[in-house]
Amino acid sequence: MNRILPLAVLCLWYTVCVGQSLRSYERAGDEAYEKKDYGSALQYYATILDKKIVDVDLFWKYAESARMVYAFSESEKYYTRILQSGKSVRKFPLLYLRLAEIKFGEGQYDEAIHYYQTFLDQNTDPQLEIQAQTGISDAETALQIAGKFAKVEIRHLGKEINSPYSDFAPYRLGDSLFFSSYRFDHKKETTFPKSKITRVMMSVHEGRAREPGRGFPSTDTAHIAHTAFSPDGHFMFFTVCKNKDVNDIRCELWLTVVDRRNKWLTPVRLPDPINLPGYTSTQPSVGYDQRFQGLVLWFASDRPGGKGDTDIWYVPLDTVFFCPCALPIPGKPIPRLPKFTNPIPASSINTPQPEATPFFHSETQTLYFASEGWPGLGAFDLFSSKKTGDTLQVPQNLGIGFNSSYNDVYPYLDPLGRQGYFSSNRPGSYYLDEHNKFCCNDLYAFEIPVDTNSNRKTSSASDERSVLKPIAHNAAKMGITPPQPRPEPVLHDFVGLPLYFDNDEPDKRTLRSTTRKSYEESVLAFLDRQNAYRLQYAAGLLGNAKDVAESEIDDFFELEVRSGYDRLMQMSRILLERLKSGAQVEIQIKGFTSPRAKTDYNLQLGKRRVSSLKNHFSTVLDGALKPYLAKGQLKITELSFGETTANARVSDNLKDERNSIYHPEAARERRVEIIEIKEQE
């Protein structure tokens, strides 16, 4: 008996503590829901439900939270459990309305109509009756739209680019895809877990995404998002956003410029009336507008003068300031911004519901955007509206494929209108919480197949002219120097070009001074080692330190190794044309090594690297340069340097492979460099 009493007391103590603990989770969930932090509320309620608690009030709270974060399957599951409890109508009069909304969100429009009608049969509230009747009408319209499939191929961009957090706002510039990602920790917070902030990322050839770096706008105290480039790529608009509370983010539009040396200059905030105190200005897009004969900035804002929530606005840009001929001089700040006229609401496409994420396609004078106000499949759908003069035509739903019953936003189209990207949280996107299946937007690519059975040009491809031409014409009319195209590169532009090698390559562990390998063989094998370098350099690091290390490796491989090889191929083609025209060319090359080996070995290794590049000139372009080498019209001279020229900060410790092999500074020492190019006619 003496043993049973302490055990009973212990069990009673445990039961009380667990009960208190569960009630604290429920209170925390209630507080989070009140603050509209539905994701946190969902997690708090889920913790209680994991204990197999049967409480219809808790089921309702959980289902409501799940609905608000688009976790439709979880929401439906618990609404259904309430329905099966027999207390639905008496205790939860909105239950059938919520089930209808969930079915609509899942794209099950016939079932949505059934639940809307069931709700109408039992409801006595006139306002809710209007809501249900509107739901039925929307579901019937969605059924019609759902029968219209867009001829489009959709592709999820995968883990190289997407994360479990939101990835959105794609914009392609050359081979680089810029986008915004909500995956970064707020470094200065001391709480755990840390909240997230948004930064801009880029992916070259749809490879592994990383931060652009090299002076690109970034901060640890605000969200940086929504890149929009001018057609020439010199001006970039973006947003700086700060959280007022969990669901209230205020954004402002900013501008940065790439100077004549391709360096990002210090960003500046756009003045009033673009940014209006107390309101959001966000999601910029820039395109050439035939009506204004110049660039126009489109954006979304909740400012007064719209129709409700966020609307689409636009404003013509100063042709003189945003002309490529007006690029800042290196080392000098951005000139004082011009005055902006008052933004114009796109009234013919705005509705009392949210319109957002505009993208203006200059070639077809068409605005693409997302809307919850125009008839669609549920949540945000993508629409197009042709612009003629000052008029935007009635928006057209882009149809199934582009759209789903989930959020489909941030359209981007290439100049021909055949390929592009958008963002969506549709099924197939990565989940932040696999159990609850909620959050977040991922990036998707699309391609519109060419109709081989038709000789008719599509409207998207009917106008392939450069958007710079009208800008130049307008600038000339205003009496300013029109923008000039960038001059074609000449051989002298490649002086100083570095070309990189893997450790002890080509031909490991030999004292030979020549190699049979060409530079192409060496560099392509080196590029295949990018992931290995990333793993080795980031090994043992955690959190942000790991992200920074991986980004350093990716920047080195993409912006230096791959870029250097691409430039070498470009130089080779220019060199062939110069030789065909009769020029005499001499190219002087240096070989460099890292300090891991002894000086005598490094001298031979440097020579092998020069030999590899000489082999390149013999074999490139199917051997087109080889005859010019044979007759002396093309000369390659060499000067090899070993350890004595290596950066003194680079490790020579053979046991410290992270710093002596995989560190980007060590990798930069393993190169050949074109130090001089002489030409004679």
Residues 446 and 568 in one domain: no
CA gyration radius, the chain: 31
Percent of the chain with pLDDT over 70: 84
DSSP 8-state code for residue 69: T
What kind and span of H or E run contains 401?
A: none
Mean pLDDT over 587-602 rounds to 88
Examine the domain organization and report whether 252 and 384 are in the same domain: yes
Confidence of residue 328 (pLDDT cuts 50, 70, 90): low
Q: What CATH number is associated with residue 138?
A: 1.25.40.10
- The mean-pLDDT minimum among 85-89, 122-126, 151-155, 239-243 falls in 85-89
pLDDT of residue 648: 61
Spatial distance between the Cα atoms of 519 and 613, rounded to a whole number of angstroms: 5
Same domain as 529, residue 418: no
Average the pLDDT over each of 67-71, 191-195, 198-202, 559-563 and give the range with the smallest value. 191-195
Give residue 479's pLDDT band: very low, low, confident or very high (50, 70, 90).
very low
Residue 578 has pLDDT above 90, yes or no: yes
Query: Does 624 share its domain with 533?
Result: yes
Q: Do residues 135 and 157 share a domain?
A: no
Q: Is 31 contained in some domain?
A: yes
**Considering only CA atoms, which of 55, 121, 111, 133 is closest in space to residue 89?**
121
User: Is the pLDDT reported for residue 382 higher than 70?
Assistant: yes
pLDDT tens-digit readout, 409-444: 999 999 999 999 999 999 889 877 666 566 689 999
What is the pLDDT, as a whole number, of residue 108? Answer: 92
Q: How far is CA 594 from the centre of its chain?
A: 36
pLDDT band, residue 204 (cuts 50/70/90): confident
Tokens of 533: 């370098």
Q: At what angle do helices 95-105 and 72-85 cross, to 10 degrees?
A: 150
Annotate 463-516 with DSSP letters as a single string: ----THHHHHHHHHHTTSPPPPPPPPP-GGGGTT-EEE--TT-SSSS---S--S
Beta strands 366-371 and 355-361, pairing class? antiparallel
Instruction: Judge whether 166 lies within some domain.
Output: yes
Answer with the residue of higher pLDDT: 239 or 125.
239
Asked if 451 and 519 sit in the same domain, the reply is no
Per-residue model confidence as pLDDT tens digits over 509-557: 999 999 999 999 999 999 989 989 999 999 999 877 887 888 789 888 8
User: Are 176 and 111 in the same domain?
Assistant: no
Same domain for 142 and 158, yes or no, is no
467 domain residue, yes or no? no
353 located within any domain: yes
Same domain membership, residue 105 and residue 244: no
Task: Assess if residue 2 is contained within a domain.
Answer: no
> Structural domain of residue 532, as residue ranges?
491-680
Find the helix or strand (DSSP H, E) in which 584 lies: strand 584-592
pLDDT of 462: 33
First-to-last C-alpha distance (Å) of the chain: 111
pLDDT, tens digit (0-9, with 9 covering 90-100), for 88-97? 667 899 999 9
Phi/psi class of residue 399: alpha, beta or left (left: φ > 0; alpha: ψ in -120 to 50)?
left
- Residue range 60-80, pLDDT digits in tens: 999 999 998 888 888 999 999
The reply to whether 475 falls in a domain is: no
Closest CA to 239 of 425, 364, 410, 372: 410
Residues 134 and 157 both lie in one domain: no
What is residue 186's predicted lDDT score, i.e. its pLDDT?
75
CATH label of the domain that carries residue 416 = 2.120.10
pLDDT band (50, 70, 90) for residue 582: very high
Rounded mean pLDDT of the chain?
84
**Residue 198 pLDDT:** 93
pLDDT of residue 594: 86
pTM: 0.67
Same domain? 500 vs 549: yes
What is the total count of domains within the chain?
3
DSSP state of 264: B
pLDDT above 80 (res 250): yes
DSSP at 32? H
Residue 479 maps to a domain: no
The three-state (H, E, C) secondary structure of 96-159, written as one string: HHHHHHHHHHCCCHHHHHHHHHHHHHHCCCHHHHHHHHHHHHHHHHHHHHHCCECCCEEEECCC
Query: Where do we find the tokens 């840009």?
Result: 317
CB 284 within 8 A of CB 298: yes
For 138-180, how does the pLDDT look when each residue is reduced to its tens digit (9 = 90+)? 999 999 888 778 889 999 999 989 998 999 999 999 889 999 9
- The tens digit of pLDDT for each residue in 19-55 reads 457 788 888 899 989 888 888 888 889 888 888 878 8
Domain membership flag for residue 1? no
Q: Do 455 and 335 belong together in one domain? A: yes
**39: helix, coil or strand?**
helix
Nearest to 231 by CA among 317, 334, 330, 346: 317
